[in-house]
Amino acid sequence: MESQYVELPENAWYRRLALEYALIQENEPTFTPVENDLTHYEGVIIGSGEYEGGFFRVEIIIPRSYPYFPPDVIWHTRIWHPNFSDSVPARVCESIFKDHWSPSLRIVAVIESLRNLLTNPNPEDPLNPVAAFEYKNRPDLFYARVRQFVETYATPEQAFGKKRWKGL
Catalytic positions, please? Answer: 93
Beta bridge partners of 120: none
Dist CA 145 CA 55 (whole Å): 16
Residue 54 has a CB neighbour count (10 Å cut-off) of 26
Dist CA 94 CA 132 (whole Å): 15
HSE-CB for 132 with a 13 A CA cutoff:
13
